[in-house]
Amino acid sequence: MNLLKPIWLVEDSADDIELTLAALESIHLANYVVVMHDGSEVIDRLKADGIESLPAVILLDIKMPKVSGIEVLRALKSDLHLKDLPVVMLTSSRQGPDLAECYALGVNAYVVKPVESTAFIEAVTTVGKFWAVVNERPGAIRIGEVTNAHLAER
């Protein structure tokens, strides 16, 4: 069994996906990256796969069609079994209300995407190294604690 958890990248911009993947590849992380284009994909995947597929970290954009990043964050952090899952908002939003709401909901970090590509890559490599390599998570999320039935209730 592969003990390395994936990194989930939830982003609707093709350019930002490309830059983020390039940044993570540049630091040779062993974690694979799962790309989702909307918050609804996160919810659907959790319902389908349950605890088996939880990532090391979710890099989550705010402004997306269908289900926003804030809605996904709210769902994750309000769930007793998923609240310890690290979520990093990786967004272009510098709006004070977005920042305040994300922290009120329990986001682990809020990173504003730099406009310049070199700065963007540097920011993402720093985030990737920390959450995939350096960070230690509590043992609260273990296989078997959450069932697909529990997630289906949502």
**pLDDT (tens digit per residue) in 22-80:** 999 999 888 899 999 999 999 989 888 776 678 989 999 999 989 999 999 999 999 88
Task: Specify the DSSP class assigned to residue 55.
Answer: -
Q: How confident is the model at residue 11 (pLDDT cuts 50, 70, 90)?
A: very high
Write down the pLDDT at residue 150. Answer: 42
Report pLDDT digits (tens) over 99-121.
999 999 999 999 999 888 898 98
The answer to the question of residue 1 being in a domain is no
Contact residues for 148 (Cβ-Cβ < 8 A; gap 6+)? 47, 48, 49, 50
Number of independent structural domains in the chain: 1
Q: Is residue 77 part of a domain?
A: yes
Residue 114: inside a domain, yes or no? yes
Within a domain: 110: yes
Q: Whole domain around residue 69: which residue ranges?
A: 7-152
In a domain, 126, yes or no: yes
Q: State both tokens at 111.
A: 């990173």
Q: Check whether 145 has a pLDDT greater than 50.
A: no
pLDDT given at position 139:
58
Highest mean pLDDT among 7-11, 47-51, 123-127, 145-149: 7-11
pLDDT over 90 at 3, yes or no: no
Q: What is the DSSP string of 11-43?
A: ---HHHHHHHHHHHHHTT-SS-EEEESSHHHHH
Tell me 131's DSSP state.
Answer: I
- Residue 99: give its domain's CATH number: 3.40.50.2300
Is 67 among the domain residues?
Answer: yes
Residues present in the chain in total = 154
* Position 134 in a domain: yes
pLDDT at position 130 is: 86
